[in-house]
Structure 1
Amino acid sequence: MPHDLPAVLDAGPSDGVDPDEFVRAAMRWHFDPETGSPYWLSRAGRLGFDPRQDVRGVDDLALFPDLTVELRNVRVTDLVPRGYGPGARVLNVFDSGGTTGAPKRVVQLEDWMRHSSEQVDRRLRAHGLPVGAHWLTVAPTGPHLVGDVLQRAAAGLGAPGLSIDMDPRWVRGLVAAGRADEAEAYTDHLVEQCRRILLTQDIGVLAATTPLLERFAREDDLVEVINSKVDAIVWGGTHMDPDTRDLLSTEVFPDVRLIGMYGNTMMLTALIERVGLSASDPCVFDPVSPYVFLSVLDPVTGEKVEVGERGQVVVSHVSKSMLVPNNAERDLALRVRPVEGHAGDAVADVAPVPKVGGEAVIEGVY
Structure 2
Amino acid sequence: MTNASLSPELESLAQNAKKTLDKKVVDTVQLHFHPELGAPFWLEKAKTYDFDPLKDVNCFDDLKKFPLFEDDWLRGGPVRRFLPQKWWDKPTYTFETGGTTGIPKSRCVVDDFRIDYEQFSETLPDESFPKGANWMMLGPSGPRRLRLAVEHLCQTRGGICFCVDLDPRWVVKLIKKGKIEEAKEYSAHVIDQAMTILSAGHEIQCMFTTPKLLEALALRLMDEGSSIAESGIKGIFCGGTEFTQQWYRFAREELLGPDVYITPTYGNTLMGLACGKPFIPEDNFKITYYAPQPRAAVEVVDFDDHTKLVGYDETGRVKLYTMTDELFIPGFLERDEGERELPHEKYPWDGVSGVRPYHVFAKTTTVGVY
TM-score, structure 1 normalization = 0.86
Partner of 2:182: 182
Q: 1:300 to 1:123 in 2, by over 3 A?
A: same
Q: Contact between 2:128 and 2:234, CA under 8 Å: does it hold in 1?
A: no
Equivalent residue for 2:260, pick from 251, 256, 263: 256
How big is the shift at 1:223? 7.5
- The alignment partner of 2:170 has SS state of helix
Could you say what the CA RMSD is over the residues aligned between the two structures, in angstroms? 2.5
For 1:39 and 1:127, how far apart are their aligned partners in 2?
A: 45
- The alignment partner of 2:219 has SS state of coil
Partner of 1:339: 344
Partner of 2:129: 129
Q: Contact between 1:134 and 1:205, CA under 8 Å: does it hold in 2?
A: yes
Please state if 1:329 is matched with 2:331.
no
* Equivalent residue letter for 2:295: Y
For 2:363 and 2:169, how far apart are their aligned partners in 1?
A: 15
How big is the shift at 1:343? 7.0
For 2:241 and 2:224, how far apart are their aligned partners in 1?
A: 21
Q: 1:126 to 1:193 in 2, by over 3 A?
A: closer
Equivalent residue for 1:310, pick from 311, 315, 324: 315
Equivalent residue for 2:239, pick from 233, 236, 241: 236
Partner of 1:27: 29
For 2:245 and 2:346, how far apart are their aligned partners in 1?
A: 27
For 1:277 and 1:75, how far apart are their aligned partners in 2?
A: 46
Give every structure 1 segment of 4 or more consecutive aligned residues whose post-TM-superposition deviation is greater than 6 Å.
none
For 2:132 and 2:60, how far apart are their aligned partners in 1?
A: 38
* Equivalent residue letter for 1:209: T
Question: Alpha-carbon deviations, 1:297-316, whole Å to 9, x = none?
Answer: 12223221111122211111
Question: Alpha-carbon deviations, 1:91-138, whole Å to 9, x = none?
Answer: x1111123686321111113x344223211111247852112221111
Equivalent residue for 2:275, pick from 272, 275, 278: 272
Question: Alpha-carbon deviations, 1:137-171, whole Å to 9, x = none?
Answer: 11122311111221111111111211112111111
Please state if 1:46 is matched with 2:48.
yes
Q: Contact between 2:301 and 2:309, CA under 8 Å: does it hold in 1?
A: yes
Q: 1:43 to 1:207 in 2, by over 3 A?
A: same
Question: Alpha-carbon deviations, 1:40-75, whole Å to 9, x = none?
Answer: 111112244332233221222233212221111331
For 1:337 and 1:293, how far apart are their aligned partners in 2?
A: 14
* Equivalent residue letter for 2:315: R
Please state if 1:208 is matched with 2:213.
no
Q: Contact between 1:131 and 1:157, CA under 8 Å: does it hold in 2?
A: yes
- Map 1:1-366 onto structure 2 (within 5 A): 18-64=20-66, 65-84=68-87, 87-90=89-92, 92-98=93-99, 102-110=103-111, 112-125=112-125, 128-201=128-201, 202-219=203-220, 220-221=222-223, 224-228=226-230, 229-254=232-257, 255-267=259-271, 269-278=272-281, 280-302=284-306, 303-340=308-345, 345-356=350-361, 360-366=364-370
For 1:365 and 1:31, how far apart are their aligned partners in 2?
A: 40
For 2:225 and 2:57, how far apart are their aligned partners in 1?
A: 51
For 2:349 and 2:330, how far apart are their aligned partners in 1?
A: 13
The alignment covers a number of residue pairs equal to 347
Q: Contact between 1:295 and 1:344, CA under 8 Å: does it hold in 2?
A: no
* Equivalent residue letter for 2:262: L
* Equivalent residue letter for 1:256: V
For 1:222 and 1:272, how far apart are their aligned partners in 2?
A: 33
- The alignment partner of 2:47 has SS state of helix
For 2:99 and 2:39, how far apart are their aligned partners in 1?
A: 24
- The alignment partner of 2:123 has SS state of helix
* Equivalent residue letter for 1:74: G
How big is the shift at 1:36? 0.9
* Equivalent residue letter for 1:137: M
Q: Which stretches in structure 2 are left out of the alignment for 5+ residues?
A: 1-15
Q: Identity, % of aligned pairs?
A: 29
How big is the shift at 1:81? 1.0
- The alignment partner of 2:174 has SS state of helix
For 1:19 and 1:163, how far apart are their aligned partners in 2?
A: 35
How big is the shift at 1:318? 0.6
Q: 1:166 to 1:338 in 2, by over 3 A?
A: farther
